[in-house]
């Protein structure tokens, strides 16, 4: 077993001309960050402190939410939310089978059983298949706004109300995504969980996450939980955890959030351009955007024939296409203990064989998009 | 003169160029997660501590939670540890659904090995000594008990990076050791961080999975894990700090020796044996019945002090609510007597002498 398989990936990604990882470009002009670090040293706060407060306040403004808590990662955001809601061993939590491992990992780490549900053609949880999975043990629904596209929250909230379930949103991909009423991802459930992993739309330069909530009680509990349950340096009210957004990373986040509208709009513009140019290729099926909804394209994905060949072809042409992800959650070894079988979630299994992601971030130029389009056309001709 | 407890601005001033250079190197590559710096940091620590496996993790607490999970304990299993420690020691145990069984401490403020055996039950799975302030617990005796009772020895080495016990480094003597790299620790990075070290390959492989979503590679998850990785950036800073830690530890030991030699014998200085160990003195903890008066006096003379820890874990609301009331007479007595004097690598001789002078002055007039 290789310790750091990501190093290998970093090396292979470097050979790409149109890259998925744009962090070198983003790092240019980082003077501001070094100024902030000087201030952090002066303030003497290397954990929590002023910059974390500044960022949380700024985040609340953008997110249009009352409270925010900076934490160690998107995974921890979900895990801590579930713990704050009192989720315990043996509880069941409904979530889509199509997501990053962390969604189910956070649920399992909290002691609960992830109850998977199939996805629709937009890779979001199929809200019509949720109800029959609800049992006496069900405590919460964790919808995932996959790739930055909002789930059918109206129906999910209606079900949650009917069965008295919590809704914790995995909004890790979906900052500033909204529905037809312009309500933001993360503001529907009791908490909204965001990742600020380096490759997210809003990112820091290491692991980081943030939780949004309008519920004061949960907010206060989360603030205790992320810092050992301490009400002061020497007084511990409840056993907590240690999951804090690093102060230096909060300074990075504070700089990045000022660009989030530009980043989001660039991604949408790039996605629209790709959609327009790719729609005529009959081997490709685009993912439809609903009217008045805003998707923020953390990933730009479509379905295609000969997916693996196309992926290899693009990569050979130094275009950093990727598969997010080749296997739904219920088919991983990790899920064996929950007794899921192949064929159980047909749509997720089918789509995972057809889906591909193309670089869509703000550093991809129009010329580069044209090159990608050109190569895809060439492949199918 | 103002004597500070810690001195980050001074440290940062000295290391700034090197740290920023490292920051720029990592930033221009754009590798922030599980990158080269982390890999090198793990190898460097491995060589430094002479241990088989090293894992950089999010922080001490998460590291310990993963260790307890990887060792396969079940809800209700018991872990023996001490009450005079930072709350995280028990927090991590309680978080995994386990029960902390607290043992009183001896004059050296570490676990009293004589009082351990009667706390061992059928449910006991491990002993987790805390090497408080970098002074090692009685590891020979602990090893003996663990062997006899078939328990794991988990070293809470949060304060003790670089301390040796006889010929081996702290953290390598038990089954597994966990370090904190929190900025206030002697060996630190510039944010949260932790290290797990072990010679047990099976345990290492399991934690390797746990810290990164159970992922064997980008596409396959073997077990449900969590996300607790030491940031590549912080590992880069760690590589710089590792080159300094031996000289820092030495400086602190020298300050401690000077304190111990010159402080009034009306207070009790830390108990340690240089033949067995070279403590790192993450803190220098003295004991006196006049603790609060001394603290106020030093404060008036602009000398920073701290108390590690004023409220023992078993007196915290979090403990009492979950595990009830227990009595630990020595821990309770000491919590009213202990005081940590300033100690850091940036203290000047003048500052050390000033602290000694003022402490002794306090006792002269009494």
Are A11 and A116 members of one domain?
no
Mean pLDDT of A51-55: 97
pLDDT digits (tens, 9 = 90+) for A99-127: 999 999 999 999 999 999 999 999 999 99
Model confidence band, residue B226 (pLDDT cutoffs 50, 70, 90): confident
Q: Give B71 to chain A, closest Cα distance, Å.
A: 15
Residue at a domain's end among A235, A257, A279: A257
Same domain as A325, residue A276: yes
- Domain containing A154 equals 27-257
Dihedral of CA A29/A34/A39/A45: which sign?
positive
B224 and chain A in contact, CB less than 8 A: yes
Residues A10 and A70 in one domain: no
Asked whether residue A166 falls in the same domain as residue A274, the answer is: no
Same domain, A271 and A228: no
Same domain as A301, residue A237: no
- Taking the C-alpha atoms of residue A169 and residue A265, their distance in angstroms, rounded to an integer, is 23
Domain-wise residue ranges, chain B: 8-239, 245-364
End-of-domain residue from the set A257, A289, A320: A257
CATH classification for the domain delimited by B245-364, as one of 3.90.1150.10, 3.40.605.10, 3.40.50.300, 3.20.20.140: 3.90.1150.10
How many domains are there within chain A?
A: 2
Lowest mean pLDDT among A31-40, A131-140, A340-349, B19-28: A31-40
Distance CA B210, CA B64 (A): 12
Residue B244 main-chain phi, psi, to 5 deg = -100, -20
In the predicted structure, residue A3 carries a pLDDT above the cut 60: no
Same domain, A237 and A360: no
Q: Which pLDDT belongs to residue A1?
A: 41
Rounded CA-CA distance B104/B111 in Å is: 6
B231 touches chain A (CB under 8 A): yes
CATH architecture of B8-239: 3-Layer(aba) Sandwich (3.40)
Note whether A41 contacts B8, CB cutoff 8 Å. Answer: yes
Whichever domain contains A302, its CATH number is 3.90.1150.10
Continuous H helices in chain A = 5-14, 23-27, 31-43, 50-63, 74-84, 101-109, 153-163, 216-225, 247-257, 260-278, 307-316, 346-352, 366-380
| Interatomic CA distance for residues B50 and B66, integer angstroms | 22
Give the confidence band of A14 by pLDDT, cuts at 50, 70, 90: confident
CA torsion B6-B12-B13-B17 (nearest 10°) is: 160
**B34/A207 CB distance under 8 A:** no
The answer to whether residue B59 neighbours chain A at the CB level (below 8 Å) is yes
For the cut 50, the answer to whether the pLDDT of residue A224 exceeds it is yes
* Cα radius of gyration rounded to whole Å, chain B: 21
Percent of chain B whose pLDDT exceeds 90: 93
Domain boundary among A204, A237, A257: A257
As a whole-number percent, the residues of chain B with pLDDT over 70 amount to 100
H/E element, B330: helix B329-335
pLDDT of residue B44: 98
C-alpha pair distances (Å), A368 with each of A180, A267, A294, A320, A379: 32, 14, 24, 12, 17
Nearest to B221 by CA among A20, A104, A340: A104
State ipTM: 0.90
CB within 8 Å: A243 and B62? yes
Residue A175 shares a structural domain with residue A266: no
Mean of the pLDDT values across residues B54-66? Answer: 96
> What pLDDT is recorded for position B220?
86
Q: Is the pLDDT of residue B317 over 90?
A: yes
Distance from CA of B358 to the nearest CA of A (A): 26
- The pLDDT tens digits for A154-184 are 999 999 999 999 999 999 999 999 999 999 9
- The residue of chain A nearest to residue B33, with distances taken between CA atoms, is A206
Query: Is A23 close to B30, i.e. CB distance below 8 A?
Result: yes
Give per-residue pLDDT as tens, A259-309: 999 999 999 999 999 999 999 999 999 999 999 999 999 999 999 999 999
Verify that A165 and A243 share a domain, yes or no: yes
The answer for B 123-142 residues in CB contact with A (under 8 A) is: none
B192 at A interface, C-beta within 8 A: yes
Looking at the fold, whether A97 and A157 belong to one and the same domain comes out as yes
Read off the pTM: 0.94
Smallest CA–CA distance from B185 into chain A, residue: A46
Chain A, nearest residue to B60 by Cα: A242
Answer yes or no: is pLDDT of B270 > 80. yes
* Helix (H) / strand (E) containing B271: none
A135 and A228 belong to one structural domain: yes
Spell out a b/e string for B222-232, using b for 16 or more CB atoms within 10 Å of the CB, else e. bbbbbbbbbbb
> In Å, how far are A65, B116, B127, B130, B201 from B153, measured between CA atoms?
46, 13, 5, 11, 16
Q: How many Cβ atoms are within 10 Å of B115's Cβ, its own excluded? A: 15
C-alpha B344, offset from chain centre: 15
pLDDT of A234 above 90: no
Tens-digit pLDDT profile for residues B156-214: 999 999 999 999 999 999 999 999 999 999 999 999 999 999 999 999 999 999 999 99
Choose among B34, B208, B223: nearest Cβ to A1: B208
Whether the per-residue pLDDT at A361 is higher than 80: the answer is: yes
Q: Cα Rg for chain A, rounded, in angstroms?
A: 21
Note whether A189 and A63 are same-domain residues: yes
* Phi, psi torsion values for A141, nearest 5 degrees: -115, 135
């Amino acid at each position: 077993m290789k310790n750091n398989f990501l190093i290998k990936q970093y090396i292979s990604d470097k050979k790409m001309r149109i890259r998925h990882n744009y962090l070198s470009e983003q790092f240019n002009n980082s003077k501001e960050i070094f100024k902030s670090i000087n201030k952090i040293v002066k303030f003497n706060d290397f954990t929590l402190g002023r910059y974390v407060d500044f960022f949380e306040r700024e985040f609340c403004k953008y997110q249009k939410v009352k409270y925010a808590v900076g934490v160690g990662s998107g995974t921890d955001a979900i895990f801590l939310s579930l713990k704050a809601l009192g989720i315990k061993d043996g509880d069941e939590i409904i979530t889509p089978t199509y997501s990053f491992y962390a969604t189910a990992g956070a649920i399992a780490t909290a002691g609960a059983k992830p109850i998977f549900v199939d996805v629709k053609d937009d890779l979001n949880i199929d809200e019509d298949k949720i109800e029959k999975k609800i049992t006496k043990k069900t405590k919460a629904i964790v919808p995932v706004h996959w790739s930055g596209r909002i789930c059918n929250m109206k129906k999910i909230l209606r079900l949650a109300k009917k069965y008295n379930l919590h809704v914790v949103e995995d909004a890790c991909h979906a900052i500033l995504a909204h529905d037809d009423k312009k309500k933001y991802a993360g503001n529907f459930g009791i908490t909204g969980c965001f990742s600020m992993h380096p490759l997210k739309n809003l990112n820091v330069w290491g692991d980081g996450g943030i939780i949004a909530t309008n519920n004061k009680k949960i907010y206060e509990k989360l603030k205790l939980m992320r810092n050992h349950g301490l009400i002061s340096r020497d007084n511990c009210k409840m056993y907590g955890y240690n999951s804090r957004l690093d102060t230096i990373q909060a300074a990075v986040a504070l700089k990045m959030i000022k660009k989030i509208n530009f980043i989001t709009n660039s991604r949408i513009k790039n996605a629209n351009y790709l959609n327009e140019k790719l729609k005529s290729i009959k081997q490709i099926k685009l993912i439809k955007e609903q009217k008045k909804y805003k998707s923020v394209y953390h990933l730009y994905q479509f379905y295609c024939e000969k997916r693996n060949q196309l992926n290899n072809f693009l990569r050979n042409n130094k275009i950093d296409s990727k598969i997010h992800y080749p296997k739904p959650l219920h088919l991983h070894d990790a899920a064996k203990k929950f007794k899921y079988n192949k064929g159980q979630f047909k749509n997720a299994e089918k789509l995972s064989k057809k889906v591909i992601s193309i670089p869509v971030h703000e550093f991809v130029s129009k010329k580069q998009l044209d090159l990608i389009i050109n190569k895809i056309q060439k492949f199918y001709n | 003169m103002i004597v500070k407890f810690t001195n980050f601005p001074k440290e940062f001033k000295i290391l700034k160029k090197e740290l920023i250079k490292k920051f720029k190197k990592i930033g221009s590559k754009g590798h922030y997660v599980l990158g080269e710096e982390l890999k090198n940091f793990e190898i460097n620590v491995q060589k430094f501590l002479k241990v088989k496996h090293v894992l950089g993790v999010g922080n001490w607490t998460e590291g310990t939670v993963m260790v307890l999970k990887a060792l396969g304990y079940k809800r209700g299993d018991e872990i023996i540890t001490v009450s005079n420690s930072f709350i995280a020691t028990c927090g991590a145990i309680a978080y995994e659904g386990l029960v902390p069984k607290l043992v009183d401490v001896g004059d050296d403020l570490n676990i009293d090995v004589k009082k351990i055996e009667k706390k061992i039950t059928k449910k006991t799975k491990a002993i987790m000594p805390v090497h408080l302030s970098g002074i090692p617990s009685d590891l020979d005796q602990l090893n003996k008990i663990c062997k006899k009772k078939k328990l794991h020895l988990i070293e809470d080495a949060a304060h003790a990076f670089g301390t040796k016990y006889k010929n081996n480094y702290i953290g390598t003597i038990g089954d597994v050791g966990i370090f904190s790299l929190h900025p206030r620790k002697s060996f630190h990075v510039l944010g949260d961080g932790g290290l797990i070290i072990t010679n047990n390959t099976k345990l290492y492989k399991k934690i390797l999975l746990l810290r990164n979503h159970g992922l064997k590679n980008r596409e396959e998850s073997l077990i449900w894990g969590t996300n607790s990785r030491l940031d590549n950036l912080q590992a880069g800073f760690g590589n710089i700090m590792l080159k300094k830690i031996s000289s820092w530890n030495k400086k602190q030991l020298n300050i401690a020796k000077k304190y111990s030699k010159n402080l009034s014998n009306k207070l009790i200085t830390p108990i340690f044996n240089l033949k067995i160990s070279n403590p790192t003195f993450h803190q220098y903890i003295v004991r006196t019945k006049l603790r609060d008066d001394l603290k106020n006096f030093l404060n008036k003379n602009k000398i920073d002090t701290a108390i590690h820890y004023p409220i023992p874990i078993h007196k915290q609301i979090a403990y009492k609510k979950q595990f009830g009331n227990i009595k630990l007479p020595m821990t309770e007595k000491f919590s009213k007597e202990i005081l940590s004097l300033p100690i850091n690598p940036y203290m000047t001789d003048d500052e050390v002498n000033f602290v000694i002078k003022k402490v002794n002055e306090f006792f002269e007039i009494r």
